[in-house]
């Protein structure tokens, strides 16, 4: 089937670009001498996970326990759940482990570590616990010098659970767009977990996992000595947010929303699409460096970028594209299809239950996704 036969709006995944992106990051991890544990929060798809593992990934990262259960159902056992654990979710995590998952959970809280130790004892579950380190992002995590690092490791070491290691995420790498600045943050990210690991080892703890990752730092890091693994997710498809930060080119963006022109408002100088806030998401992450991108970059139905044409505003089911000149009304007739490169792939993809996997303009497989919680 040709892309032009698909009802709109719908989600396209360009297989060639996906494969190239996967290879690029795997090569980066290989060069740095660390394992790659891709984050499936972006693709949430078993077929995508299979492609990643075939290319060399060792284990996966997930953002929800629902993802963990889905991937386990598809035969993937080595899973890190990289969102802070809460006591109420421990029974569900224990069930996944009982079903065969080699699940790593994460916290930065003494209280949660106590709950993990208690639930490990109660249900005889060998939870593997990762300690979250703050490397400068200031979302979650303990600073490497925080004394509670040793308290948590000690609590777990004395329990039925297992102290697995340390993990950090340089989310602040999204605040810069100079390669040198990203490289510097990658070094800070490494130093934070490696120094925490050294302190833990000096206190007698084994630290099997020293985990870093964000797409920008993973691609710009030059030296990850002391790190064991790299996590990143959005690199698989990239998006305009990454492009705005100099992390990728538009020609590497593998995800797009196929939309139809549903109206012309000549008085207001805009074309209306059937892809609005729900189909594209209301994410405006590209604003920092490229505010003109708005809610997405417009391409033609074959995927060729149309310069200076963006989704400038959205309502629930309408995308508004400010035309460049009146000729755009002739070029883009009502009913004509366009592709939108999304601002933030993880947010856009979440509105869809599946990907239409394409090669050029040919639609191939349909890959399912696991959304929700």
Min dist CB 225 to a second copy, Å, is 27
Give the distance from CA 302 to its chain's centroid.
Answer: 26
Tell me if 347 contacts a second copy by CB under 8 A: yes
Q: Which residues of 184-203 are buried (b: 16+ CB within 10 A; e: fewer)?
A: ebbbbbbebbbbbbebbeee
Does residue 372 come out as left (phi exceeding 0), alpha (psi in the -120 to 50 range) or beta? left
Cβ closest to a second copy, residue 140 vs residue 294: 140
Q: Which of 160, 278, 301, 305 binds a second copy (CB under 8 A)?
A: 278
User: Residue 16 or residue 139: which is nearer to a second copy going by CB?
Assistant: 139
Binding segment toward a second copy, per CB under 8 A, in 53-61, 106-114, 123-131, 200-208: 106-114
Residue 140 binding a second copy, by CB under 8 A: yes
Residues 26, 56: contact at Cβ < 8 Å?
yes
| Dihedral of the alpha carbons of 48, 49, 51, 57, in degrees to the nearest 10 | 140
Q: How far apart are CA 330 and CA 321, in angstroms?
A: 14
User: Please, which residue, 7 or 327, has the CB nearer to a second copy?
Assistant: 7
Of the candidates 143, 150, 160, 306, which one interacts with a second copy according to CB under 8 A?
143
Told to check if 21 binds a second copy by CB under 8 A, we report no
CA distances from 342 to 26, 172, 353 (A): 24, 21, 17
Token pair recorded at residue 343: 């601002």
327 binds a second copy (CB under 8 A): no
Q: Which two tokens stand for residue 52?
A: 């990643």
Among 1, 20, 27, 268, binds a second copy (CB under 8 A): 268
Tokens of 134: 């703050």
Among the listed residues 51, 81, 54, the one whose alpha carbon sits nearest the alpha carbon of residue 66: 81
Q: Tell which one of 74, 284, 288, 331 touches a second copy (CB under 8 A).
A: 284
304 binds a second copy (CB under 8 A): no
Q: Does 319 bind a second copy (CB under 8 A)?
A: no
317 touching a second copy, by CB under 8 A: yes
Single out the segment in contact with a second copy by CB under 8 A; choices: 149-157, 188-196, 244-252, 280-288: 280-288
User: According to the binding rule CB under 8 A, does residue 86 interact with a second copy?
Assistant: yes
CA-CA distance, 126 to 94, in Å (whole number)?
A: 8
**Among the candidate windows 117-125, 198-206, 345-353, 355-363, which touches a second copy by CB under 8 A?**
345-353
Q: Does residue 63 bind a second copy (CB under 8 A)?
A: yes
Residue of the chain from 262, 301, 305, 306 that contacts a second copy (CB under 8 A)? 262
Residue closer to a second copy (CB basis): 155 or 224: 155
Question: Closer to a second copy at the Cβ: 20 or 92?
Answer: 92
CA dihedral 320, 323, 326, 332 (to 10 degrees): -70
- Residues in contact with 259: Cβ distance below 8 Å, sequence separation at least 6, in sequence order: 8, 9, 273, 274, 275, 279, 319, 337, 338, 339, 340
In the complex, the residues that contact a second copy under the rule CB under 8 A are: 7-10, 41, 63-64, 83-89, 92, 108-109, 111-112, 115, 134, 138-141, 143, 171, 260-265, 267-268, 272, 274, 277-279, 281-284, 315-318, 320, 333-335, 344, 346-347, 350-353, 371-373
């Amino acid at each position: 089937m040709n892309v032009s036969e698909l009802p709109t709006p719908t989600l396209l995944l360009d297989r060639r670009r996906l494969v190239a992106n996967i290879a690029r990051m795997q090569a980066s991890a290989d060069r740095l001498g660390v394992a790659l544990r891709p984050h499936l929060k972006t693709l949430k798809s078993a077929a995508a996970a299979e492609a990643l593992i075939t290319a060399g990934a060792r284990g996966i990262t997930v953002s929800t326990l629902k993802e963990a259960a889905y991937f386990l159902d598809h035969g993937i056992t080595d899973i890190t759940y990289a969102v802070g654990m809460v006591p109420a979710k421990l029974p569900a995590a224990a069930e996944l482990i009982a079903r065969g998952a080699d699940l790593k959970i994460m916290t930065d809280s003494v209280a949660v570590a106590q709950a993990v130790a208690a639930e490990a004892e109660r249900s005889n579950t060998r939870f593997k616990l990762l300690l979250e380190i703050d490397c400068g992002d200031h979302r979650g995590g303990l600073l490497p010098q925080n004394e509670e690092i040793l308290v948590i490791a000690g609590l777990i070491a004395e329990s039925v659970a297992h102290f697995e290691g340390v993990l950090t995420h340089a989310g602040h790498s999204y605040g810069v767009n100079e390669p040198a600045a990203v490289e510097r943050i990658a070094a800070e990210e490494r130093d934070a977990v490696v120094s925490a690991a050294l302190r833990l080892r000096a206190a007698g703890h084994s630290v099997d996992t020293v985990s870093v990752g964000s797409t920008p730092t993973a691609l710009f890091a030059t030296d990850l000595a002391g790190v064991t693994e790299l996590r990143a997710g959005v690199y698989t498809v990239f998006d305009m947010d990454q492009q705005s930060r100099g992390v990728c080119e538009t020609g590497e963006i593998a995800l797009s929303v196929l939309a139809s022109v549903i109206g012309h408002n000549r008085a207001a100088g805009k074309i209306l699409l059937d892809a609005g806030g729900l189909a594209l998401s209301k994410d405006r992450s590209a604003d920092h460096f490229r505010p003109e991108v708005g809610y997405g970059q417009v391409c033609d139905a074959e995927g060729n970028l149309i310069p200076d044409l963006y989704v400038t505003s959205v309502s629930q089911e309408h995308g508004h594209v400010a035309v460049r000149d009146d000729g755009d009304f002739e070029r883009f007739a009502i009913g004509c299809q366009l592709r939108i490169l999304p601002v933030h792939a993880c947010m856009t993809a979440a509105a869809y239950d599946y990907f239409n996997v394409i090669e050029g303009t040919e639609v191939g497989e349909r890959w399912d996704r696991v959304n929700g919680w």
